[in-house]
A and B are shown apart, each in its own frame.
Chain A
């Protein structure tokens, strides 16, 4: 029998970044209390799953951890990543209609190359799930709607060259909040232009603004893109009590959004108001995804809830209009960008790991090919990691890369190794489903 909702609930009550860090052991304890007291795990509409442990191959399909996975990835990460895979399997095998991986630690700030922890994230559990869906079930078009208050910069970065993964993130404007990115100009590399949509909201935007943005812009884009699988990066820090951000969304706002979105799979991201928000937001999302009445889920304390102002509404209106323009012109713009880029496209980016204090500098080059999606090279050097300075030269062979491009990718790494100047050399070969050390 297909249950309406599969729930992978994993609070990891024995894992923390540090004693007083927001990402600490009791983050989901109050949520656990609420869910058990409400009796949600006893409902016929909800089937609870135990997370499995993700394997090295699952992680390395997505990430290149420098120097090696064992250096920064803990058992907790393997279980939270495994939890997303359990959720994906439950949906793809038809055991449940949708699934919610209510797991921690989170992942949406982790990028393809990982030297340490950034934004509380070490590995990107959502991206790992998406790559797994592609590899195991041949999933085609996938859309991610990131409802965390922070820009999902890791997920954006990992799928920046992939036209089949539509990444939509709304978040508090990067001028006012970590990680400082997520503006509409970041719309994908030329080959995947328009498959990244960033919607920076002004602080104090609440339920009204978020739902207007969803109804007027996100819904029509999703309807147009027609994903085979829809994923929700279900961060909960747009809540009005979250101390790391300044938004005004309520548990009802989040629950109604989950109800409208009807994601196939939701994955918990951030949310650090662990007593005043998470118990209620999670109860609301779980009920909404299970198709049950969530209208009675209300925070007991609403003193900090303020009405939305004109300026936040004006920003929403602006985003709707700019977003529509970008979406409708994306085909033409993409062709222009590809023509301008020619045979390759390069970007240099500094990446700061706030949690670990690591500074990474990357040069990423996408090589284009008339017959296939080409391949990618990454030149990465990091200062302040556990190993001091370390650098890596990496090539990525896409699943659909032609044999010539695959060879060029391997040659590029071999050439770099011959030249010297880097500590580690990798080829992430998605066609062979292998991370090779050269």
Chain B
């Protein structure tokens, strides 16, 4: 049995899954002051009468904890120690002004000038967590490691290094990832302890996992170190939920249509498409790997207005539907009148639509127009996303010449308002659609069945005779014959060890990309440079066929 809990903006959902079915589910209000409280309430709801506590193999949670802390600006002070060297003036690129330290590592990883914390470097709070980030630390982390040692010697407890955040290029992104990680370490430690304590009280001893922005999970001990990775996990949870419930075999566009917004994701070959470089947090680019998503402010609670040209949707959300006691007509009223939904007062929904009608116009006609307009807004964004995707830069001739447009073949809908809008959206796109059962708790299902993911990067430079796994700050000497295959073997081994250290079963690794190019000196080839990125194969433990039981 697997437990999945999704802490959303309004509701916290919990599910228990066994034999590819959702056996139990529960929904409780999210408690923003103390997230663990609502989480445990949902847990009690799902456990009630199930007798499942002792049978759970794994507990996985998806939480808005970090997202909310960042959105509300409740972050502690973090000291950033940056080693930018010559280049772009990055002093305003981070969420907090950095202490700039001299030093430089070049693009090949030569430590041109060692970074050293000046003896007089004061002005920083020794009690606050620190970020140490150097340009090209993924080619050679020596500077960051030296500064980390010096800071720890001066009594700084938590030091987060740039190279541990990501093995990929992007100094500012790594620094920002490290900043948001450092700023949420204490918060997450407290939260995980409370959840762990709550599980223990309920006699649940299953390992605890946390969902990441890339739709994978990580074990509690890693989640406590890479806290920024749990940013923006709501849409990721919904994507894994779709994977578990639908497992789209074709190119698809998925829609998670809630009360206030619709999240749009694209699927190709069974997998959601990823954003190119990493998520933005609070407007700052980070190295947090995340899905290629767009959010449209259209949902069941979007208010409706009559304008000259027709029915306008939102953007605001004023309150619940009139059919549910609200005071302003909403999309949900339209759904109800058209019998897409079957809760609430149909007569109130009718009078809501009548209030928007032109003289002589039937309320049902108004409802139809509202649904078409709302679907039209979402379809416009889908088309924009397709255009944008086609225009994403690529760096190989072959990728330009053979470029194809993303052409979805299926629309998948989950979330509370999916039934009302998805058929119309699919109709406007001329595509079939699928609204899976259990769509209402898809996010919790996603958390429950998401496999752990770890992404690793390797760089080998046979001209220099060096190979490095930047995240591990692990370097080794190699000979001229070192090949891509050798690199893949090394990286797979590292992923296997990382998985073991986190208590994760290793179920195979896959190469995300690899490149090799020669180093030419004086007209002859002095070696090769090899870059490889691999990850634990992502996905779900099994697909979920639908709801059963309670």
Listed in ascending order, the chain A residues whose CB lies under 8 Å from chain B are: 9-15, 19-20, 24-26, 29-30, 32-34, 36-42, 48-51, 53, 74-76, 78-79, 82, 275, 279-280, 283, 287, 292-293, 295-301
Residues of B within 8 A of A (CB): 84-90, 93, 104, 106-108, 110, 112-113, 135-136, 169-173, 277, 285, 391-398, 400-401, 515, 517-520, 523-525, 529
Q: Pick the 9 closest A-B CB pairs, nearest first.
A: A39-B172, A298-B86, A26-B517, A300-B112, A36-B169, A42-B285, A37-B169, A33-B107, A50-B393
In the assembled complex, 10 residue pairs joining A and B whose CB atoms fall closer than 8 Å, in A order, are A9-B393, A9-B395, A12-B397, A14-B398, A34-B107, A39-B88, A42-B173, A48-B393, A76-B397, A280-B86
List the A side residues contacting B172 at CB < 8 Å.
38-39, 42
CB-CB nearest in chain B for A51: B400
Q: Which of B396, B398, B523 contacts A20 (CB 8 A)?
A: B523
Provide the residues of chain A in CB contact with B93, threshold 8 Å. 39
The answer to whether A300 and B86 have CB atoms under 8 Å apart is yes
Tell me the smallest distance from the CB of A71 to a CB of chain B, in Å: 18
B228 to chain A, nearest CB (A): 17
Q: Inside 8 A of B90's CB, which chain A residues have their CB?
A: 39
Establish whether residues B104 and A300, one from each chain, have CB atoms under 8 Å apart when the complex forms.
yes
Residues of B within 8 A of A295 (CB): 89
> How many A-B Cβ pairs are below 8 Å?
120
CB pair B397–A287 under 8 Å, yes or no, is: no
CA distance A283 to B398 in the complex (A): 26
Min CB–CB distance A11 → chain B (angstroms): 5
Give chain A nearest CB distance to B288 CB in angstroms.
13
Contact present for B395 and A297 (CB under 8 Å)? no
Would you call A30 and B393 a contact (CB within 8 A)?
A: no
Given A12-B397, A26-B518, A287-B88, answer yes or no on A39-B392 (Cβ-Cβ < 8 Å): no
> Once the chains bind, are A37 and B171 in contact (CB under 8 Å)?
yes
**Residue among A39, A280, A292 with the most chain B CB within 10 A?**
A39
Instruction: Please measure, in the bound complex, the distance between the C-alpha atom of A170 and the C-alpha atom of B289, giving whole angstroms.
Output: 46
Write the nearest CB–CB distance from B427 to chain A, whole angstroms. 32
Contact: A37 with B397, CB < 8 Å? no
Q: Are B169 and A20 in contact (CB under 8 A)?
A: no
Report whether over half of chain B's contact residues are helix, strand or loop; otherwise say mixed: loop
Q: Which of A10, A24, A26, A39 contacts B173 (CB 8 A)?
A: A39
CA distance A301 to B110 in the complex (A): 11
Q: Which of A29, A49, A74 has the most CB of B within 10 A?
A: A29
Task: For the complex, give the distance between the alpha carbons of A29 and B169 in Å.
Answer: 12
Contact A12 B401 (CB under 8 A): no
B395 to chain A: which residues have CB within 8 Å? 9-13, 32
Interface pair A37/B86, CB less than 8 Å apart: no
Chain A minimum-CB-distance residue to B107: A33
- Nearest-CB distance from A99 to chain B (Å)? 14
Q: How far is the CA of A83 from the CA of B137 in the complex (A)?
A: 32
Q: How far, in whole Å, are A30 and B109 apart by their CA atoms in the complex?
A: 12
Q: Which of A20, A42, A51, A300 contacts B106 (CB 8 A)?
A: A300
B525 and A19 within 8 A (CB): yes
A122 to B: closest C-beta gap in Å: 14
Note all chain A residues with C-beta closer than 8 A to B135.
37-38
Closest Cβ of chain B to A271, distance in Å, is: 15
Shortest beta-carbon distance from A338 to chain B in Å: 45
| Cβ contacts under 8 Å, B89 to chain A | 292-293, 295-296
Q: Known contacts A279-B107, A296-B88; is A39 also within 8 Å of B396 by CB?
A: no
Give the CA-CA distance A295 to B86 in the complex, in Å.
Answer: 9
Among B110, B391, B397, B523, the residue within 8 A (CB) of A50 is B391
**Residue with the greatest number of chain B CB neighbours at <10 A, chosen from A12, A40, A50:** A50
